[in-house]
Amino acid sequence: MHPCTVPFYINSRYLPMNLDHSALVDLLRKAYSAEKAAAFAYQGHAGAVKDKEEKIAIRQIEMDEWEHRKEVLHIMRQYSIPVSKLYEIRFHVIGKIISFSCYLIGWFMPFYFAGRLESGNVCEYFRMMQYFHELGILEHNQVLYEMGMKEKEHEIYFLGKIKNKRMLPFFEKLFAWGAKESFNDIDLDKKYPVEASALYCKKRSEG
Ligand SMILES: [Fe+2]
Ligand SMILES: [Fe+2]
C-alpha cells in the first residue's frame, strides 16, 4: 500500500461516510489540485522577479498555497473523498506552464494574473462553506474562513504591486479585474465574523 493511502484507509474505516453533495465534492477535489498549480506558478514567479522583497513575499504565498492544499486534503480524507487523478495531472501541467511563462512575459503580467486568479479563489472557500451548511456541517467554518481570507490577502498584495502601473486600466478593461473590479465582496478592513461569513460570495454562487 502506498504510504499516502494509509491515513485515508484508517479514516475510511472510522468514517465510512461520503458527502452527498456532488458540487462540493468536485469543488474540494478541484481546489486541492488547483492549489498545487498555484504553488508551482509562484515558484516561477518568485524565480523570475529580481527584487528580493518581492521574491520573499511570493515564496511566502507559495507556502500558503501548499498549506491550503494540506488543509483541503485533510477535509477530503475526513469524508473519504479520493484525489482526482485527472485534476492532479491537469493542474500540474497548468502550474508548470504558468511557472515557466513567468520568465518570459515581463514583470507586470505575472503580478496581474496572479491577483486576478487569487480574486476568484477567495469565493471558492466561502462557497465550500455554503455547501457544507446545506448539509448542516459547520465544523469546517474556521479553516475555510481562514483560507478564503488568506486568498484575499494574496489578491490585495498583488493588486498593491500593480495599482499604480500604467498598464492596469487597459488590463482591467480586458480581463475584468483590477483596482475597481474584484471577483469577491470581501473587504479586509471590515471583515464579517466567521459565523456570518457564509454571506460572502452569495451573488457569485447564485449567478
Ligand atoms: Fe490557496
Ligand atoms: Fe492564494
Number of domains in the chain: 1
In angstroms, what CA-CA distances link 179 with 26, 33, 112, 156, 190? 31, 28, 11, 10, 18
Measured CA distances, 121 to 50, 68, 83, 126, 186 (Å): 26, 11, 19, 9, 12
Q: What domain range includes position 157?
A: 19-206
Give me the DSSP letters along 168-200: HHHHHHHHS-SSS--SS---GGGPPPGGGGGGT
Is the pLDDT reported for residue 1 higher than 60?
Answer: no
Cα-to-centroid distance, 35 and ligand 1 (Å): 5
- The residues near 20 (Cβ < 8 Å, ≥ 6 apart) are 135
Least confident of 11-15, 60-64, 118-122, 140-144: 11-15
| Residue 10, pLDDT score | 46
How many angstroms is it from 147 CA to the middle of ligand 1? 7
Residue count of the chain: 207
Q: Is residue 16 very low, low, confident or very high in pLDDT (cuts 50, 70, 90)?
A: very low
Task: Output the CA 195–ligand 2 centroid distance in Å.
Answer: 22
Rounded CA separation 12/82 (Å):
11
Q: To the nearest 5 percent, what fractions of the chain are helix, strand and coil?
A: 75, 0, 25
- The yes-or-no verdict on residue 135 having pLDDT over 70 is yes
Residue 12 has pLDDT above 50, yes or no: no
Q: Which pLDDT score, from 0 to 100, does residue 17 have?
A: 54
pLDDT tens-digit series, residues 101-122? 999 999 999 999 999 999 999 9
- Cα of 112 from ligand 2 centre, angstroms: 13
Cα 57 to the center of its chain, rounded Å: 17
Confidence band of 203 (pLDDT split at 50, 70, 90): confident
CATH number for the domain spanning 193: value is 1.20.1260.10
11 inside domain: no
Distance from the alpha carbon of residue 143 to the mean position of ligand 2, in angstroms? 14
* d(CA 150, ligand 2 centre) in Å: 7
Percent of the chain residues topping a pLDDT of 70: 90
pLDDT tens readout for residues 67-108? 999 999 999 999 999 999 999 999 999 999 999 999 999 999
Cα separation values, 42 from 86, 96, 153, 189, Å: 22, 10, 15, 26
- Classify residue 32: in a domain, yes or no: yes
Entry pTM? 0.88
Report helix, strand or coil for 89.
helix
pLDDT of the residue at 40: 96
| Domain contains 56 | yes
151: in domain: yes
pLDDT digit string, tens, across residues 145-157: 999 999 999 999 9
Asked whether residue 7 is domain-assigned, the answer is no
88 occurs within a structural domain: yes
5: in domain: no
pLDDT at 2 over 80: no
The answer to the question of residue 193 being in a domain is yes
